Chain A
Amino acid sequence: MQKNISLSINGNKISTTKSKTIVEAAEDNGIYIPTLCFLKGKLDHSNCRICTVKVDGYHKPACSTLVADNMDVITNSDELEELRKYIIELLFSTGNHICAVCQKSGDCELQALAYKYKLLFSRFEHLYPNKGIDTTSSDKIIMDKSRCILCQRCIQAIKDKDGNPFFVLQGRSNALEVVFDKEMNDIFTQEDAIEAVKQCPVGCILSKESAAFETPIGRRQFDKTEIGNKEV
């Protein structure tokens, strides 16, 4: 069912295959579009909105918009970059992000995006939520919920063999939370746990097994390499 599609991204003509998202098509062509909640193959949950691009004049999330012939996509206008900065600041301010005491620091995607956009401070007032740390629901992970950015990647990515998620949502609106389903703990394997820690873009899901702060500063993922910048 694959067929060639040609579209323009930031004025450059590219060709790609049907059923790819704009994020993937752009990536194939060396164009980085920031994402936080994007998971390959899952299109239904564009929650963070950071991948917003302009498609034929309209704002659309690049992670769940499929390419189409003759599409005109802009990924990097000043307006879009400003919106992205706002979202990063928003996520920082509505959570508790004290990187110095966070073991994801240096490998955290939210932080890495802040570095990419050279954010010096947040224009939103910090809310200092105290959503608690869940150390008991699972014997393999802990969750520092004030760091969760509700991207829902863990829900989408980590499921048992019947497709039941290990993480679930509770509440709505600004009281929305992601929690570990403790009834599923018995079948939550060490591999699942490792995958969950990996999928979590921030330092919310942390492993009980691996030692914290293992990698020395300077050698972590984003210490010297900008996110999305493959060459360096």
Chain B
Amino acid sequence: MKTTISSIIDKTGNDRHKLLNILHLLQLEYGYITEDVIEALSEELNITKSQILQVTSFYHYLYDEFKGRIVIHVNRSIIALISGYADIVKTLEKECSCKMETISEDGEFGLWNTSCIGMSDQEPAILINGFPFTDLNTSKTKEIISKIKNGKSLESIFEEYEPDKYKLSIGEQSVDKTKTYIKGPLLDDEYTPFTSIELLQTKISPQNILDIVYESGLQGRGGAGFSVGRKWKAAAQAKNKKKYVICNADEGEPGTFKDRVLLSEKPEVVFEGMLISAYAIGAHKGIVYLRKEYEYMKVYLEKVLQDMRDKEFIGPNSIFGFEIRIQIGAGAYVCGEASALLESMEGKRGEPREKYMQPTEYGYLGKPTIVNNVESFAIVPSIIYHGSKWYKHYGTDFSAGTKVLSIAGDCAKPGIYELPWGISINTLLKLTYAKNTKAVIVGGMSGHLLPPEEFDRVICYSDLSTGGAIMILNNERNLLKDVVLPSLDFFIDESCGSCSTCRNVPGYLREIARDMEYHKLSHSNYIKIIEWGKLLSISRCGLGKSVASLLIDFIHKFTHDYEIETLPEIKSD
């Protein structure tokens, strides 16, 4: 064992900051992080066992115990729940002869819930040893399991059932079965990848880029909406030879899948965007933080990077001397928060940092760093090519450009829609052929739950700001059971636990919400929800701040859905 561990460490480099990578490889080798592995690793890296456990116990996809030879993660997102999650669970439990969250007696199968694997348009979906199987039904699930039982290799089963995804996993280009219904400047194929790189070498200075991006009004597409140009300018000003460009591909917001589509269909422009930003701020290294659930695409992405190296756009021979590598995450929603992502990349627990310092000053390994979303990088080459005015004419005055939306749930056409900012919910419902819509969730678990009266509201930074997750629910849905309770389960599961508020309050809120299944919401419980929502808002990061948002929207806007003891004064937020 020791020699294996040594060789793995040699491969990744004897560096504590590479702990996640080392652990991934060890898990691949031994199935889970055994005590012996920890013991040996602790000797090799000269850190204590507890310090390794401190990291492993943080991540969902680092296992501290045997999870089965075939590890099946069943997606339990809101869309999964309304698309037949329960049936799939029933089938799996029967076929694998074990209950959820356990291992079968022979150790062959392990069934585990997971919060969202980014397949909301193809639910129900599961991951089998990391390979996604989607659009499941009872018979398909049965077939897959019986093929596994009959000794067929998982790769070949994957190839048979998910040919598009299989191709990516072996490094071939493919178009995912996700449907893209509306394309805009980002997704239409008007822009030929790498045209802007050519411009960099001759016509455009770093300062030009900073100015163009700033003037284009591009805002962070992860949801927070910080001006991309301003961020880059700050990083450009930082005086440090080493700077980093980081692409946040930790798309964890339940209901979103647009980054998956962008990465599988337009990886060139994403990497090109990173390269342009590196040129603008003077960075030497780029890292894509890819969520563990998307690991199957890694081979393909590596291949695209290799092509870029061959063309000398990146790599040691390129004129920019810029290199991009891919870092695989380990399963933690909170790592989508930029500073948590940095911590995680440094091989630590992915806890958000306090905001007294910006990553542009003190980021990855203490160096100036910009972290942007996949979608933000992807549009940059086109903006540089066409200029800021071109981009600005899309969207509204305060929200420039277009937004790639992942739309899922009760509609005839779930999929990807690239639309200019300022589009109303009503229009979205028409475009997707949604019928009898009872509610729309904009922005995933931390977003808004909207009743029909508010469907004239529009998607933009000044009204409904979103990272792109739109979930549609029709009249048959029980919002408390299908939306509110799962959202609280989700946050309880995903909190990093640092803040006294976010660690503890969600559990109390869940008690009240559960009680609402059977009893009227009492006035005192109503007050508690509102007050505790305020208490959560002083948590460190966005996760804690937004724990109660769907619950509060629910009690304010869907009063006809539940009973309330004495109707309190409804304060609009």
Contact = CB atoms under 8 A, between A and B. Distances in A.
A90 B50 contact: no
A213 B42 CA distance: 40
B433 interface: no
B500 A48 contact: yes
Interface in B471-516: 492-501, 503-505, 507-508, 511
Interface in B334-392: 349, 353-356
Which of A44, A66, A82 has most chain B Cβ within 10 Å? Answer: A44
A171 B497 contact: yes
Nearest to A50: B500
Contacts of B349: 169, 172
B493 A173 contact: yes
Nearest to B534: A83
B353 A44 contact: yes
Nearest to B493: A173
B51 interface: yes
A14 interface: no
Contacts of A184: 48
A2 B465 CA distance: 40
Residue of B354, B493, B507 with most partner-chain A CB within 10 A: B354
A181 B51 contact: yes
Given A91-B500, A172-B57, A179 B354 contact: no
Interface residues of A, number: 44
B458 to A, nearest CB: 26
A35 interface: no
B97 interface: no
Contacts of A60: 355
A149 B51 contact: no
Interface in B307-356: 332, 349, 353-356
B557 interface: no
Interface in A111-153: 123-125, 149-150, 152
B224 interface: no
Contacts of B535: 83, 86-87, 90
Contacts of B537: 59
Interface string B179-199: 000000000000000000000
B58 interface: yes
Most buried by A among B349, B355, B499, B511: B499
Interface string A39-51: 0000111111110
Interface in B32-57: 42, 47-51, 53-54, 57
A65 interface: yes
Contacts of A182: 50
Interface in A31-81: 43-50, 52, 59-61, 64-66
Contact of A47 (B49, B53, B492, B500): B500
Contacts of B498: 45, 47, 150, 152, 176
A82 B54 CA distance: 34
A99 interface: no
A214 interface: no
Contacts of B511: 125
A169 B508 contact: no
A44 B362 CA distance: 12
B354 A44 contact: yes
A114 B51 CA distance: 34
A44 B349 CA distance: 13
A213 to B, nearest CB: 28
B137 interface: no
A66 B49 CA distance: 35
Contacts of A150: 497-498, 500, 503
B15 interface: no
A183 interface: yes
B492 A168 contact: no
B531 interface: yes
Nearest to A37: B500
Nearest to A179: B50
Interface residues of B, number: 41
Contact of B494 (A65, A149, A169, A173): A173
B396 interface: no
A43 B50 contact: no
Contacts of B499: 47-49
B135 to A, nearest CB: 31
A174 B538 contact: no
B539 interface: yes
B540 interface: yes
Given A44-B353, A173-B503, A52 B492 contact: no
A49 B535 CA distance: 10
A152 B332 CA distance: 21
B500 A90 contact: yes
Given A47-B499, A49-B499, A173-B495, A168 B354 contact: no
Contact of A59 (B57, B500, B508, B538): B538
Contacts of A152: 498
A174 B539 contact: no
Of B353, B356, B531, B532, most A-chain CB atoms within 10 Å: B356
Contacts of A174: 492, 495, 497, 503-504, 507
Nearest to A63: B354
Contacts of B50: 168, 170, 179, 181-183
A46 B354 CA distance: 7
Interface in A161-180: 164-165, 168-176, 179
A17 interface: no
Interface string B292-308: 00000000000000000
Contacts of A15: none
Contact of B497 (A65, A83, A125, A173): A173
A91 B528 CA distance: 17
Interface of A: 43-50, 52, 59-61, 64-66, 82-83, 86-87, 90-91, 94, 123-125, 149-150, 152, 164-165, 168-176, 179, 181-184
Given A49-B538, A87-B535, 20 more contacts: A47-B499, A47-B500, A61-B354, A64-B355, A65-B356, A86-B531, A123-B528, A150-B503, A152-B498, A164-B48, A170-B57, A172-B496, A173-B495, A174-B497, A174-B504, A176-B503, A181-B50, A182-B50, A183-B48, A183-B50
23 contacts: A44-B354, A48-B499, A50-B500, A59-B538, A83-B538, A86-B531, A87-B535, A90-B535, A125-B508, A164-B48, A170-B50, A170-B53, A170-B57, A171-B58, A172-B496, A173-B494, A173-B497, A173-B503, A174-B495, A174-B497, A174-B503, A181-B48, A184-B48
Interface of B: 42, 47-51, 53-54, 57-58, 332, 349, 353-356, 492-501, 503-505, 507-508, 511, 528, 531-532, 534-535, 537-540
**3 A-B pairs with the lowest CB-CB distances in the bound complex, closest first:** A176-B497, A181-B50, A64-B354
